[in-house]
Amino acid sequence: MSGVTALFLTPVARIRRQVIRPIAARLAPASDLAASPLADRTVLITGASSGIGEATAYAVARRGGHVLLVARRSDELDRVAAAIRADGGSASTYTADLSDAAAVDELVARVLADHDEVHYLVNNAGRSIRRSLALSYDRAHDFERTMAINYFAPVRLVLGLLPTMREQGFGHVVNVGTWGTQVKAPKYAAYIASKTALDTFSRIAGREAWADGVTFTNMRFALVRTSMVAPTDAYAKLPALSPERAATKVVHALEDRPLTVGTIPGAVAEVVNLVAPRLSDLLFASSDRRFPDSDAARATTSSDRMR
């Protein structure tokens, strides 16, 4: 059998698991949905002390998953873990600064020492910066630290956990990203570039690990009402998902394992960028002028936010 033929011939069992079962789950009555694929599975969630990560942790625990909570703030992690246990769920906490490469490697070692298997990884921890290039000429560190948490940390986690996932024949990684990877919005060069790098890395990793039962989902969220968007006044009156609603989408991605979860406006923007790139440039250049940098971005102190 040629390599090309082998690439496109899908085993029946894989079709059943990744296509038929998710469709059947959507059509099944509510009583049949009680047995979640997350039940009795180990799910590592970064940025679990607030926002989307915290809400996802609660949702996963309610479905019977054992949640490994990762964030920098130990007191907030303890709070989330206590809430999960009080609701009858199971959780473990791991304090780590994911912008520190050595800390990520240490986290992987601790997790694998404490747990036989990690079945799911949710790369949710992230940093967002909204600042125009005109205000960034002497701020290369904005790009470096954004890449550190949004790209290099998830990549190190995947590289650390992927060998055991492949060995056990199952694993799924969900990356909490942005529709900005399709839209290419001005003032988000540092943020969108880092998320685009992770989006592309995951698509390639998914192709390499697919035959071993390990899959990846890229979430391309629009606006979610978290502390990350608070400094931008222009977003205050715009429609946005709640962290809980966003967490529902993350849980569906964990259970159904799609390639991407996005939005219709994001898909439209991606098409316009491809078929009419200069028209897209004109539209976004106009938008760029209409929505100037925030006061926080103009300040000498950092205006970026983490989750």
Beta strands in 156-259 (DSSP E): 171-178, 214-221
76 and 64 in contact (C-beta within 8 Å)?
no
Buried b (16+ CB within 10 A) or exposed e, 251-274: bbbbbbbbebbbeeebeebbebbe
Query: Residue 127: in which H helix or E strand, if any?
Result: strand 127-128
242 and 52 in contact (C-beta within 8 Å)?
no
Tell me the one-letter amino acid at 224. V
Set 120, 137, 191, 235: catalytic member:
191
Tell me the one-letter amino acid at 282. L
* Known catalytic residue at 191: yes
Residue with tokens 């039962």: 213
Q: Which two tokens stand for residue 140?
A: 């290369």
Tell me the one-letter amino acid at 101. A
Relative orientation angle of helices 153-168 and 101-114, to the nearest 10 degrees:
30
**Which residues have a catalytic role annotated?**
191
